[in-house]
């Protein structure tokens, strides 16, 4: 018997996964925890957006590299 393929995971953590990671249900507490731990994230109103890939890198002890866009001053 062939097992059915599971649906692909989202790029971002679900609300339940974020609660499991931080131990908090409230977004303000989640944001504070993520900041203390150095996990890159974005706040979008009450929603907290966290990349699944960056969390995996953080769990492996890697420094997550985030970008704020191109550095136009370095372009000649």
pLDDT in tens, 34-46: 999 999 999 998 8
- Please tell me which residue, 8 or 31, carries the higher pLDDT value: 31
pTM of the predicted structure, to 2 decimals: 0.73
Does residue 5 sit within a domain?
no
Unique residue bearing structure tokens 């970008």: 67
- Please tell me which residue, 1 or 14, carries the higher pLDDT value: 14
Q: Which domain holds residue 39?
A: 15-63
| pLDDT score recorded for residue 51 | 95
- Confidence category of residue 28, pLDDT binned at 50, 70, 90: very high
- What's the total number of domains in the chain? 1
Does residue 43 sit within a domain?
yes
Does residue 10 sit within a domain?
no
- Please tell me which residue, 76 or 29, carries the higher pLDDT value: 29
Distance of CA 13 to the CA centre of its chain: 6
CB atoms within 10 A of CB 50: 22
């Amino acid at each position: 018997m062939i097992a059915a393929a599971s649906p692909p995971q989202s790029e971002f953590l679900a609300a339940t996964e974020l609660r499991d990671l931080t131990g908090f249900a409230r977004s303000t507490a989640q944001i504070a925890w993520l900041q203390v731990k150095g996990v890159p994230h974005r706040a979008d109103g009450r929603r907290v957006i966290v990349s699944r890939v960056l969390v995996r890198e953080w769990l492996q002890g890697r420094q997550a590299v985030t970008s704020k866009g191109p550095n136009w001053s370095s372009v000649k």
